[in-house]
With several copies, the nearest count.
Chain A
Amino acid sequence: MAKKDEKIEYVKNGKRLDGRKVDEIRPLKMKVGVLPNADGSAYLEWGQNKVLVGVHGPKEALPKHKQNPYKGLVRFTYRMATFSVPDRKNPRPGRRESEISKVSGEALEKSIFLERFPNCAIDIYVEIFDSNAGSRAAGITAASVALADAGIPMKDLVCAVGVGKAGGEIILDLNKDEEDAPDAVDIPIAIMPRTEEIVLLQMDGPITKPEWNKAVKLGIQGCNQVYEAQKVALREKFAKVEKGK
């Protein structure tokens, strides 16, 4: 971890502290269909982040007064295990988890043909078992794949990544050390890659408009890298299904 006021070069000779290039994401492994009891599921390792997602539904939304007669509801729950962070997390869900659950669920809505499921709900449970910057992007990415695994009709996958600034450089997929930079800016972004529509966008920290323009380009490019990994993982799953009975 960076000592206070110590001057760190976050990018040196085109390489970052962990050896990555500025536009390189951390290693990403995904497995689809990992939970027997869920309608769809996925396990994702992305750098140190380890994320398990289960999807239940579509099914009747309860309690009834929450039903929407025109379209289905997406209910997204993002939770961190007590041991998934450097200091033990209080087991009760906090305000940060509430906010991430809300914006992540909203990020997935447009990708699903929700109008086909009036009065129904789709429950998405994201459990973080290990983390190191970028767990919300990991959760959304895995959740979209788990939705596909559940056979829920979708316009496109949703892929997410963090982009931002550290030591004055605009870089892709920040890790924890980079997020702790004194001038760090963190921009989680999620898109539907076919149309490049932005479905999640948050930002933390001071940034100028030219920097933003550079960052969003890099972010969309990162999302497309994630998209390829999602497609590979889904193909593997369905290949297996065809090979198996």
Chain B
Amino acid sequence: MEKMIWDIEANKVTSLIKEGKRVDGRKLDERRKVTVLKNISDNADGSAKVTLGKTEVMAGVKMVLGTPYPDNPDKGTISVGVELLPLASPQFEVGPPRENAIEIARVVDRGIREGKAIDFKSLCVREGELVWIAFIDFYVTNYDGNAFDAGSIAALAALNETKIPKIEDDKVVKHEYSGKLKLAKQPLLTTVSKIAGNLVLDPVLIEEKAQDARFSCAVSDDKTMCAFQKGFGGSFKVSEIDECIDLSFKSAKELRKLV
């Protein structure tokens, strides 16, 4: 039943897109309105709430002391976790889609990591012994498509707010800080859906239902890409990927002003 309603709606999306139109009136290469609200949690070392249209994400960073990996004794690291909360959508209730959440987390992680947003050496406290691990966790609280971009924006906004806790006797002093985390780059994801042969920026949920394929590209500055992820059962031509890349550079430039 429900599936049938989705199918009808998805067909509507496809018909519109064939005419170059979208369900919500946007242009094919237009992103939804983005809002960024910083510092949503005092217990977090950095945090932000991001809305991308009706998609809403809450992100927080916790700086935790740990031991470095033996093969990288002078580097800290990051860890990205995502939860698609049941309250975000009636569809997430029957067991939230674990594989999807893992994919989103890993793609956002790659964007930040490979985009060299953070100089991992700057997270070293004492070589071989003590480093910072930045735990970046975000929660999708209302899902209307494209948690990739919303999560990427929220993660970066939260990192940009992050303070480094003070250390005493190798332990964190609560609620005291020694400075701010400095970001070397501002890598951001841009996601495009392919629907009926057209490339559509920043898909809403019903567009995701209609898509043949999905492509996400993270760029860290005006010249450098740092992560790709193609998803879904369809395919892209090389020329289409090139078009997606161009959209990503343009989109990231705009987003960078907000985070």
Touching in the complex, A and B, CB below 8 A?
Answer: yes
A99 to B45 alpha-carbon distance, docked (Å): 28
Give the contacts of B49-94 with A (CB-CB under 8 A).
54, 56, 58, 60-62, 64, 81, 83, 85-90, 93-94
Q: Are B114 and A205 in contact (CB under 8 A)?
A: yes
Q: Are A127 and B139 in contact (CB under 8 A)?
A: yes
Contacts of A95 in B (CB 8 A): 102, 105-106
A7 → chain B closest CB, angstroms: 19
Is residue A202 within 8 Å, beta carbon to beta carbon, of the partner chain?
yes
B139 → chain A closest CB, angstroms: 6
Which residue from B87, B224, B235 sits with its C-beta under 8 Å from A206? B224
Bitwise interface map of A from 155 to 197 toward B, beta carbon under 8 Å scored 1, else 0: 0000000000000000000000000000000010000100111
Q: Are B135 and A88 in contact (CB under 8 A)?
A: yes
A interface majority secondary structure = mixed
Q: Are B224 and A207 in contact (CB under 8 A)?
A: yes
Q: Give the number of chain A interface residues (Cβ < 8 Å).
A: 62
Interface residues of B (CB under 8 A from A): 40-45, 47, 54, 56, 58, 60-62, 64, 81, 83, 85-90, 93-94, 98-99, 102-103, 105-106, 110, 114-116, 135, 137, 139, 141-144, 174-175, 215, 220, 223-238, 241-242, 245
A64 → chain B closest CB, angstroms: 13
Contacts of A204 in B (CB 8 A): 110, 114, 227
Q: Are B141 and A52 in contact (CB under 8 A)?
A: yes
A196 to B118 alpha-carbon distance, docked (Å): 37
A96 to B109 alpha-carbon distance, docked (Å): 12
B interface majority secondary structure = mixed
A198-B102 in contact given A83-B47, A208-B224, A209-B245 (Cβ < 8 Å): no
Q: Are B41 and A216 in contact (CB under 8 A)?
A: no
Q: Which of A53, A56, A95 has the most CB of B within 10 A?
A: A95
Q: Are B43 and A216 in contact (CB under 8 A)?
A: no
A192 to B54 alpha-carbon distance, docked (Å): 34
A50-B40 in contact given A88-B62, A88-B135, A201-B236 (Cβ < 8 Å): yes
Q: Which of A11-19, A20-28, A101-109, A236-244 contacts B (4 or more CB under 8 A)?
A: A101-109
Q: Are A102 and B99 in contact (CB under 8 A)?
A: yes
Which residue from A86, A96, A99, A125 sits with its C-beta under 8 Å from B85? A125
